[in-house]
């Protein structure tokens, strides 16, 4: 996290489903488990979650079906009212907002994309993308001009007069993304937006998404069950199980230092060398003799494999994007990530 105030801040958030969830939550003592709560007649979709999301960050939330990830994201926009705790968006407690204030927040600050594209079949691409601006009351000329901007942004220029039935699945998804971008949201919620797409289109959409994020710098909460997708997209990954965030950290730290046995199991098939970057392994120079050209902090250990195997240096200099030295990486530590630690 940066020193700046978080865009979204969650403190001790609970979401229970059952007969009298608020009263039941007040009666809880200690740290009851998911099964204990279930035996009392309640489903703990979200259990005591606290985390902050920084401006411009892409937080990816992962977990198996039923882990609570979709419910949690809906709590962040108050599509679902929480049972306990608080959610603040840009410092405002959204649980205390009136319905009118909440509608304004969603219309002006938040974009949402879900698995089902939800396109209006009788409207063209242009009219689908302009629809939220129409609901906002924007005049026809201004909303169509804005719609054309985002249609071009997502690579659909020339298809603005097509109907949804005339588009591929990937193109329909782009329309959904364009529609959510039309209102210029500061915060973007995406719930498994690419899960229905075939692998080639999914990869293409990930590339497009990364391009858009680099251009626009939105604050994004992205749900996926695909770990490879999470590793490509995330600044941080939050892994959920039974309503609890087991660990929230950078992809490098998730695979290098899993916080729980569940996270370790979740990540055991991941090839660490594809995830871990040189900058993560860089340490203070501390008098080490550094020679030769530095390696980039963003290079993965996999990308450095040939160099690591053939190099004779004990420590390799690591530089940032500006070319400034940031530390030294132990060649042996990097080889352990690449090949596994010697038994």
pLDDT tens column, 132-187: 888 888 899 999 999 998 898 888 899 999 999 999 888 888 888 888 888 878 89
* 75 Cβ contact list (under 8 Å, min separation 6): 10, 13, 15, 46, 81, 82, 87
Q: Please say whether the dihedral angle defined by the alpha carbons of residues 250, 255, 260 and 263, taken in this order, is positive or negative.
A: positive
pLDDT tens column, 241-258: 999 999 999 999 999 999
- pLDDT for 81 equals 95
The residue among 319, 314, 312 whose CA lies nearest residue 293 is 319
The residue among 186, 191, 222 whose CA lies nearest residue 106 is 186
Alpha-carbon gap, residue 210 to 216, rounded angstroms? 10
Alpha-carbon gap, residue 208 to 343, rounded angstroms? 42
- pLDDT for 262 equals 94
The CATH number of the structural domain formed by 98-234 is 3.40.50.300
DSSP, collapsed to helix, strand or coil, labels residue 67 as: coil
Rounded to two decimals, the pTM is: 0.85
Looking at the predicted structure, is the pLDDT value of residue 293 above 90?
Answer: no
Is the CB of residue 70 less than 8 Å from the CB of residue 221? no
Beta bridge partners of 89: 8, 92
Looking at the predicted structure, is the pLDDT value of residue 240 above 60?
Answer: yes
Angle in degrees, CA 289, 290, 291, rounded to 5: 120
Alpha-carbon gap, residue 309 to 291, rounded angstroms? 17
Q: Which two tokens stand for residue 156?
A: 């659909």
Question: Percent of the chain scored above 70 by pLDDT?
Answer: 97
Looking at the predicted structure, is the pLDDT value of residue 286 above 80?
Answer: no
pLDDT tens column, 50-107: 999 999 999 999 998 889 999 999 999 999 999 999 999 999 999 999 999 998 898 8
Looking at the predicted structure, is the pLDDT value of residue 3 above 60?
Answer: no
Looking at the predicted structure, is the pLDDT value of residue 343 above 60?
Answer: no
Enumerate the domain spans of the chain: 1-56+70-95+237-267, 98-234, 273-339
CATH superfamily of 273-339: CBS-domain (3.10.580.10)
- pLDDT for 267 equals 87
Task: Using pLDDT thresholds of 50, 70 and 90, give the confidence band for residue 1.
Answer: very low
């Amino acid at each position: 996290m940066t020193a700046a105030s978080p865009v979204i801040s969650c403190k001790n958030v609970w979401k229970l489903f059952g007969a009298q969830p608020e009263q039941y939550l007040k009666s809880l003592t200690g740290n009851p488990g998911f099964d204990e709560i279930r035996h009392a007649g309640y489903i703990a979709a979200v259990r005591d979650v606290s985390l902050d999301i920084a401006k411009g960050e892409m937080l990816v939330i992962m977990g198996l079906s039923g882990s609570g990830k979709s419910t949690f994201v809906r709590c962040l926009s108050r599509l679902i009212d929480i049972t306990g705790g608080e959610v603040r968006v840009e410092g405002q407690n959204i649980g205390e907002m009136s319905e009118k204030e909440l509608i304004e927040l969603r219309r002006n600050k938040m974009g949402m994309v879900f698995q089902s594209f939800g396109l209006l079949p009788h409207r063209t691409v242009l009219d689908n993308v302009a629809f939220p601006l129409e609901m906002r009351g924007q005049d026809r000329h201004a909303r169509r001009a804005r719609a054309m901007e985002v249609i071009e942004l997502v690579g659909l220029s020339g298809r603005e007069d097509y109907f949804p039935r005339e588009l591929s699945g990937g193109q329909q998804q782009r329309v959904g993304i364009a529609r959510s971008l039309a209102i210029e949201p500061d915060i973007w919620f995406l719930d498994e937006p690419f899960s229905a797409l075939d692998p080639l289109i999914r990869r293409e959409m990930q590339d497009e998404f990364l391009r858009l994020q680099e251009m626009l710098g939105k604050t994004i909460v992205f749900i996926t069950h695909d770990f490879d997708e999470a590793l490509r997209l995330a600044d941080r990954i939050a892994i959920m199980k039974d309503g609890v965030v087991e660990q929230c950290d950078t992809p490098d730290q998730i695979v290098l230092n899993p916080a729980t046995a569940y996270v370790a199991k979740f990540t055991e098939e991941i090839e660490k060398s594809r995830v871990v970057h040189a900058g993560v392994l860089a340490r203070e120079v501390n008098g080490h003799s550094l020679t030769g050209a530095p390696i980039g902090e963003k290079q993965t250990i996999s990308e450095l494999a040939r160099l690591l195997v053939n190099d004779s240096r004990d420590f390799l200099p690591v530089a940032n994007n500006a070319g400034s030295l940031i530390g030294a990486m132990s060649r042996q530590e990097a080889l352990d990530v690449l090949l596994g630690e010697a038994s």
